[in-house]
Amino acid sequence: MNFELNEEHKMIQKMVYDFARKEIMPIIKEHDRNHTFPHKLLPKMAEQGFLGVCLPVRYGGAGMDYISLGIVSEGLEWADSSTRETIAVHLGLHALPVFQWGTEEQKERFLPPLATGKNIACFGLTEPGAGSDVAGIASRARKEGDHYILNGEKMWITLADVADRFLVFAKTDPEKGARGITAFILERGWSGLTTGSIEGKMGVHASNTGWINMDEVPVPESHRLGEEGEGFKIAMTALDNARYGVAAGSVGIMKCCLEESVKYAHDRKTFGKPIAEYQLVQQMIAMMQQRIDIGELLVRKAGWLKNQGIRNTRETSAAKWYCTEAAFDCASDAIQVHGAYGYSDEYNVERHLRNSKSAVIYEGTSQIHQLMQAAYALGMRQDKPLRCELPAYDPEIWQAEA
């Protein structure tokens, strides 16, 4: 097995880290302090191809593979979680499900504006009374002629007040539980569709988080994604994509925390010598490096499986679970290395600690992933074939013009 990145991967790695240093780092502290979304970054991210990095060229994407998606996620979150969240939601939770489950007409219609940043998209699954319990959603959709009428509320939705398009889930047959959920693509400006922002978050201040309210929203049948009753499958496959990005982004947090801790440990002197010479500081540095090495391997394995078109729910879950917990631990240790200065927002490690806590909650809490891994190990859970698998990466097809 070859663990070295190929030339395309190295190119995009350099591109995204250069972008993070040049475009994100100079502005992110101000946006974090003011709790404002960096709207000006979106066209710049689109120009670099990040918003459609692993979508085929014929749909406006960059035509790169899923490992590249992981590299972009890592580099963006090395700077700040808010920009990586945009990729995970816009691309992983919305565009990729359209690519996987949409009709050819839907892909040709919806994907190019998403890949080029003309439209920004989000994903509405969580509700005030339904988070980990997806089957417990209360949103409803009833069929009337060639339209569906949607009612319900979504909560804790990233990009809710920024997005132009919304992939939402509602029950078309409540008696069937999870098998009665259907997916729909909504557009801003439709009658009965309103959004708002949530204030007072602990971290990820530069990202928009909000709610979506649907009051008798008419949705054309052409905007239904997949068949009736396939919404749960679509949501779970979307989460596989987003969890992969979360895991990769968490590696970016760990790398930033290690870099800043190493620099500070060499610069900071106590009792006449750099704190890098103290064994307990070295222990924290060593643990950061170990977590990075393990996290990279887990993420790379999940990305490789995606490239092969192989179902990777277990592997992606393991990567998300480990990397998010490890990122929080790295950020906590980084603050300890920095001492009182680490408690100040003058240093990036303070922001990474606040941001990293959110990732152990969203896209499945650590406890949910722990239960999933136990079920796989005990033989109590097995992944069944889907009607639509995530397409395997084929450079000749992905990079071909329409």
Distance CA 112, CA 361 (A): 31
What are the φ and ψ backbone dihedral angles of 26, each rounded to 5 degrees? -65, -20
CB 172 within 8 A of CB 142: yes
Q: Which of 40, 53, 39, 56 is nearest to 88 (CA)?
A: 53
Distance CA 6, CA 44 (A): 25
Distance CA 371, CA 394 (A): 34
Active-site residue (options: 108, 325, 363, 401): 363
Distance CA 109, CA 238 (A): 19
What are the φ and ψ backbone dihedral angles of 143, each rounded to 5 degrees? -85, 130
* Residues 6+ away with beta carbon under 8 Å from 94: 114, 121, 122, 123, 165, 167, 238
Residue type, 29: K
Distance CA 135, CA 32 (A): 35
Distance CA 48, CA 36 (A): 23
Q: Which of 156, 120, 161 is nearest to 36 (CA)?
A: 161
CA angle 7/12/13 to nearest 5° reads 95
Residue type, 22: K
Please, what's the largest Cα pairwise distance for the chain? 80
Distance CA 30, CA 346 (A): 11
**What would the two tokens of residue 14 be?**
């350099």
**Helix residue spans in 150-278 (DSSP H):** 231-267
User: In this structure, how many other beta carbons lie within 10 angstroms of the beta carbon of residue 128?
Assistant: 12
Residue-wise DSSP of 227-248: STT-HHHHHHHHHHHHHHHHHH
CA angle 239/181/153 to nearest 5° reads 80
325 is catalytic: no
Q: Which residues are catalytic?
A: 363
